[in-house]
């Protein structure tokens, strides 16, 4: 049984269609990425899953049921708008949230200490939330979301505001929870986080799903037409018809080839131009490239569901 089933769901606010005929499913023990630019409809979709909004059309089921207050106890939801009590001490606040989710005092205290240690926040247990940095507050908010060990965690932009070390810790925690059989939905517009974590994805643009399915299979459908090239010397060989697009990075260039182009032709051209090639690798396109292709309609045949 899927943990979440979103079936042909539409949500309107007056004349504005925020979510248009959205469908996807989230499986147990998986991380599901709900992706798209700001304003695409990700947060509205999440709010329908947790029962804040009711869909105008279609159906949402969580753990095989329509959402109820009892079912909400089995969900952990971290909204993008963080909700800590600024004048309340961190430890007391987490105990309060844990008890709201039905944990007894002793067990709640044990879990609070364990999670604070995991996020290197033990020294801040008796500090007020207002004394914490934005990133620390975000980690406390995540702890409040996960304390009661929900079967489903929904995280809206969980990495925003975190430094690289904290991002790494949160990723490790999410993978641990997945290994325990938890299902995780997280929304983001940061495609690189998705590539590192997600099993399945749904890309949304202008309230409409444009691409969905298993991440590996989605990338396979788009083929290997991207070359990652580390070279020194002249770059005149990049100005030829087989090059569709290129992105320059500090240590390499990523080249998207025209459909059906021979990557070896590019390599021969680089050598003929006098470039020294340190690394030449044919790779799958990045998720960011796939998203751009999908929303601009340049590769329409690849934008269906699995």
Report the CATH number that the domain containing residue 271 is assigned in CATH: 3.30.70
Same domain, yes or no: 210 and 251: no
Same domain, yes or no: 151 and 274: no
Q: Is residue 250 part of a domain?
A: yes
**Of 184, 217, 250, which marks where a domain is finished?**
217
**Of 217, 245, 272, which marks where a domain is finished?**
217
Same domain, yes or no: 184 and 272: no
Q: Is residue 107 part of a domain?
A: yes
Can you say whether the dihedral through the CA atoms of 160, 161, 165, 170 is positive or negative?
A: negative
Same domain, yes or no: 257 and 119: no
Report the CATH number that the domain containing residue 14 is assigned in CATH: 3.40.50.300
Give the model's confidence band at 299: pLDDT under 50 very low, under 70 low, under 90 confident, else very high.
Answer: very low
pLDDT tens-digit readout, 147-185: 999 999 999 999 988 899 999 999 999 999 999 999 999
Same domain, yes or no: 160 and 228: no
pLDDT over threshold 70, residue 128: yes
Q: Is residue 301 part of a domain?
A: no
Range of the domain at 65: 4-217
Q: Is residue 70 part of a domain?
A: yes
What are residue 153's phi and psi, to 5 degrees?
-115, 135
For residue 287, CA distances in Å to 95, 159, 205 come to 39, 18, 14
Same domain, yes or no: 200 and 69: yes
Same domain, yes or no: 78 and 188: yes
Q: 202 by DSSP, 3-state: which?
A: strand
Predicted pLDDT at 297: 63
CA 24/CA 202 separation, integer angstroms: 7
CA 230/CA 94 separation, integer angstroms: 49
Q: What is the mean pLDDT of residues 38-54?
A: 93
Same domain, yes or no: 250 and 194: no
**Block residue for tokens 């009892």:** 70
Q: Is residue 10 part of a domain?
A: yes
| 34: β partners | 187, 202
pLDDT over threshold 80, residue 51: yes
- Can you give the pTM of this predicted structure? 0.82
Same domain, yes or no: 191 and 253: no
pLDDT over threshold 50, residue 190: yes
Same domain, yes or no: 185 and 260: no
Same domain, yes or no: 153 and 230: no
Number of domains present in the structure of the chain: 2
Same domain, yes or no: 183 and 230: no
Q: Is residue 289 part of a domain?
A: no
Q: What is the mean pLDDT of residues 201-210?
A: 93
Average pLDDT, the chain: 90
Predicted pLDDT at 22: 96
């Amino acid at each position: 049984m899927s943990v979440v089933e979103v079936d042909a769901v539409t949500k309107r606010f007056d004349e504005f269609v925020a979510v248009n005929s959205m469908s996807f499913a989230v499986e147990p023990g998986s991380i599901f990425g709900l992706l798209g630019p700001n304003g695409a409809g990700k947060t509205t979709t999440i709010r329908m899953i947790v029962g804040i909004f009711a869909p105008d059309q279609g159906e949402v089921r969580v753990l095989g049921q329509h959402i109820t207050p009892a079912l909400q106890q089995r969900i952990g939801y971290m909204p993008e708008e963080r909700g800590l009590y600024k004048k309340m001490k961190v430890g007391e606040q987490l105990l309060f949230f844990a008890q709201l989710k039905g944990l007894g005092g002793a067990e709640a205290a044990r879990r609070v200490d364990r999670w604070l240690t995991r996020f290197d926040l033990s020294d801040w247990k008796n500090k007020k939330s207002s004394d914490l940095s934005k990133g620390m507050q975000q980690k406390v908010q995540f702890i409040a979301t996960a304390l009661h060990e929900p079967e489903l965690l929904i995280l809206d932009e969980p990495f925003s505001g975190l430094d690289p070390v904290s991002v790494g810790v949160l990723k490790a925690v999410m993978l641990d929870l997945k290994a325990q059989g938890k299902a995780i939905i997280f929304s983001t517009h940061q495609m690189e986080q998705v590539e590192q974590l997600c099993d399945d994805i749904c890309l949304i643009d202008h309230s409409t799903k444009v691409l969905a399915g298993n991440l590996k299979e989605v990338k396979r459908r788009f083929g290997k037409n991207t070359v990652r090239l580390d070279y020194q010397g002249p770059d005149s060989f990049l100005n030829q018809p087989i090059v569709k697009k290129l992105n320059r990075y500090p240590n390499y260039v990523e080249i998207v080839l025209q459909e059906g182009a021979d990557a070896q032709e590019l390599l021969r051209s680089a050598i003929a131009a006098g470039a020294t090639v340190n690394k030449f690798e044919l790779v799958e396109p990045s998720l960011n490239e796939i998203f751009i292709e999908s929303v601009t309609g340049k590769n329409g045949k690849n934008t269906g569901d699995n």
